[in-house]
Structure 1
Amino acid sequence: MSSAIKRGVSLYSYQNETFQGRMSLEDCIRTSAELGAKGIEIIGEQTFWGWPEYGAADADVETWHRLIKQYDCVPVSHDFMLDYKRYKGREMLFAEQVASVKKDIDFGARLGMKYIRALVSISPDVLVAAAPHAEEKGIKILIEVHAPLHFDHPWIIRHAEAFEKSGSDALGFLPDMGMFLFSFPPVWKEKFMRLGVPKTIADYVEKAYEDRVLSEYVILNVQQMGGVGPAIAMAETLRHNAAFEPKRMLDHMGRIHNIHGKFYQMTEDYVEPSIPYDEIIKVLQQGGYQGYICSEYEGNRWIEDAEEPDSVEQVRRQQVMLARLLGEAEVPTIKTAPISVAAE
């Protein structure tokens, strides 16, 4: 029996192809739709030229709605940024931060989104202050729970407490599956070795991660092994990543409304070697989750020095894996080749 969990794609996954002009917005939406991943998530700056500084042109928004309707897709989330520490050479005032979030709420509503993603650095006080406006617009603001943070981190607990105290159902969470990094990603190790990390050190860091050795000990040991530069950087990745428990999502399931299906690599046999999606899906099903899991491919930055990333193929493979784990009978396939923006 198929699951109530739905499949989607963050168009961020196609960042290489869109930046290079090899995929248009229509290519991104059509490709996702053909894979049966009908939920579409965006980062405004990537999809709409000029956002947020200059707004988004009416014609571009009209094109967005036309394509969503044409390919029978669902707008899921606008992932907004609030870089409040780089505002005109100073940190934004509280009222300015709230006003900025309200602007993104309005934009999300304009695009037909149900949710907007908030960066984990944003204060819960700002989100609570913006919540009434979100309620008016039928939008939920979801704070992204992203490694190295997790659901037992004091900063996330502070958000959870503030959300409950507010009494607003417009505030919630968007877990990023990268916080469940159970193994050191092979593409990371290969990249560091191309940068000159000796195999002995690379093997040690990989094994130390598997053994859950404290990051500071790993960094010190790498230094004592003679590691410098890239070797230290490889060891320092352990400071920012960990194998947190998927079951910790259960206590917050009532406020979890969207999922970032982070992945760094999908093998030819449809396995993400570093993130246990089989366990993750079981936990989400146990918790009664019925939202989208949106593919978020971030392996491109780890291989583009050695080969041209094929984000479409990587997303396809993850969608096949998700479809199988969700009990779907049909295998996701791509029927139409992308048409480059330059050729249009």
Structure 2
Amino acid sequence: MTSTIKRGVSLYSFQEEMFLGQMSVDDCVAFAASIGAKGIEILPEQNIPNFPDISDRDIAQWQEMMARHGTHLTCYDMFLDTKVRKDRLMSDDEQVASIRRDLILCNRFGIRNMRVLVFVRPDILERCVPYAEELDVHMGVEVHAPWHMEHVWILRTVEVADRLGTKHLGLLPDMGIFMKNYPPVFRDRFIRQGARPEVVQFILDQHAQKIMAEYTIYEVAVKMKGNKAEVAMAETLRHHPYANPRRIRDFIPYFRHIQAKFYEMDADCTDPTHAYEEVIYELVAGGWDGYLSSEYEGNRWVQDVQPVDSREQVRRQHVMFDRLIAKAQARIAAQPAG
């Protein structure tokens, strides 16, 4: 079989360089195009200075930029700032109005996928489904660590989509839920902050054995009298589950887009942390045809000791994508028919 999985990049991947003024949005898009990542995921609140007052001219400029680089917009990352003022939260009606505003903007850009933050309540999204259907935008609830595909909160969204029979509400997996190994860049940063080697090794061993995070935190904080860096390292285990990659195929009907989270790529273009080989096999075998959208978040773990090179990190990830997709195709082709 020939996989139809496509490759893209979230502009969030270049947050370091854009913040420092080293790359413009156009630079980011040009780089993505140069490595064959033709799908561009945008964060309008970060990437468009006059958001939410986006004019037809603004949209035309984005469309011209996409045409010039041979790219296209694949996903719109919405945010829901539920704290309207210091003294109160958004009402339900205000939340629906905010999401509808984003759906309209998403449609105006010609984008058909909108990333919805995981904390948005399913009943709020149910009220937004008629707008999503009218505007032909898929609302994908971000399945972000420490949640996972089979978490009851995520399954509530699936239940709403099934009950309504809608194709415009579903999920948008973040690959951070497949953290198989503890990230070396996390480990090294905590060591630089004063974590003792023996405590670091204990945490790594606990993670490798998939010991429940609270046990590890207790051991480090109480029994080992952990310092601030050691306790912080142990506490990261709460937020980075290792979900079963084999279950992703069961949820393929509910998603159109994937945020391909990663913290670092080795020089041989492998990810030492996430179970990409297992996940990509399941996606290829399941016939998924959406976008793997790079989301590099390793900058904050290395910026204290070295210049961040988001472009090289993203390039390496796309080399890995090509290799793993081809490997999955060969593995499937070699399987006996039937």
TM-score normalized with structure 1 length: 0.92
Once the two structures are TM-superposed, the CA of residue 128 in structure 1 deviates from its matched residue by: 1.3
Alpha-carbon distance in 2 for matches of 1:83, 1:302: 26
Deviation (angstroms), 1:35 = 0.6
Aligned positions of 1:234-245 closer than 5 A: 234-245=233-244
Give 3-state SS (helix, strand or coil) of 2:195's partner: coil
2:258 is equivalent to residue 259 of structure 1: yes
* Residue pair 1:14, 1:311 contacting (<8 A) in 2 also: yes
Write the mapping of 1:155-304 to structure 2, written as runs, cut at 5 A. 155-223=153-221, 224-304=223-303
State, as a whole percentage, how many aligned pairs show the same letter.
42
Aligned counterparts of 1:69 and 1:248: Cα–Cα separation in 2: 37
Q: What is the match of residue 320 of structure 2? A: 321
**Aligned residues: CA RMSD:** 1.3
Query: Would you say how many aligned residue pairs link Structure 1 and Structure 2?
Result: 325
- The one-letter code of the counterpart of 1:187 is V
Tell whether the 8 Å contact from 2:100 to 2:131 is kept in structure 1 after alignment: yes
Which residue type is aligned with residue 99 of structure 2?
V
Contact 2:138 2:169 in 1 (8 A): yes
SS in 1 for 2:326: coil
Consecutive unaligned residues of structure 1, counting only runs of 5 or more, are 329-344
Q: How much has 1:231 moved relative to structure 2?
A: 0.8
**Offset at residue 233 of structure 1 (A):** 0.8
Aligned partners of 2:200, 2:54: CA distance in 1, in Å? 46
Whole-Å Cα distance in 2 between the matches of residues 33 and 12 of structure 1?
A: 16
Candidates 84, 87, 110, aligned match of 2:84: 87
Q: Distance in 2 between matches of 1:50 and 1:195?
A: 39
Deviation of the 1:2 alpha carbon: 4.8
Write the deviation string for residues 259-311 of structure 1: whole angstroms up to 9, x where unpaired: 01100000000010011211110011122100000000000111111111100
What is the aligned partner in structure 2 of residue 11 from structure 1?
Answer: 11
SS at match of 2:90: coil
State the Cα distance separating 1:57 from its structure 2 match: 4.1
What does 1:19-58 align with in structure 2 at a 5 Å threshold? Answer: 19-52=19-52, 55-58=53-56
Q: How does 1:111-130 map to 2 (within 5 A)?
A: 111-130=109-128
Deviation at 1:20, TM superposition (A): 1.1
Within 2, Cα distance between the matches of 1:42 and 1:92? Answer: 25
- AA in 1 matched with 2:300: R
SS at match of 1:327: helix
Give me the whole-angstrom Cα distance separating, in 2, the residues matched to 1:74 and 1:133: 23
Q: CA deviation at 1:164?
A: 1.0
Residue 59 of structure 1, CA deviation: 3.4
Q: Is the 8 A contact 1:247 1:283 kept in 2?
A: yes
Give the distance between the partners of 1:247 and 1:104, measured in 2 at CA: 33
Letter in 2 for 1:61: I
Structure-1 separation of matches of 2:291 and 2:136: 18
Are 2:245 and 2:275, in contact at CA under 8 Å, matched by a contact in 1? no
What secondary structure is seen at the aligned counterpart in 1 of 2:73?
Answer: strand
Q: Alpha-carbon deviations, 1:50-74, whole Å to 9, x = none?
A: 323xx22443322211011111112
> Is the 2:213–2:235 contact (alpha carbons within 8 Å) kept by the matching residues of 1?
yes
* SS of alignment partner, residue 260 of structure 2: strand
The equivalent of 1:146 in structure 2 is 144
How far, CA to CA, are the matches of 2:190 and 2:48 in structure 1? 34
Check whether the contact 1:49–1:56 (CA below 8 A) recurs between aligned residues.
no
Cα distance between partner residues in 1 of 2:72 and 2:129:
23
What SS does the corresponding residue of 1:236 show, helix, strand or coil?
helix
CA–CA distance in 1 between the matches of 2:2 and 2:184? 31
**Higher RCO (CA < 8 A, seq sep 6+):** 1
SS at match of 2:161: helix
Matched residue type, 1:80: M
1:265–1:273 Cα contact (<8 Å) kept: yes
One-letter amino acid of the counterpart of residue 199, structure 2:
I
Cα distance per residue 1:203-230 (max 9 Å; x no partner): 1111110110111110111121121211
Partner of 2:330: none
Report if the CA contact (8 A) 2:281-2:325 is conserved: no
Residue identity in the other structure for 1:94: D
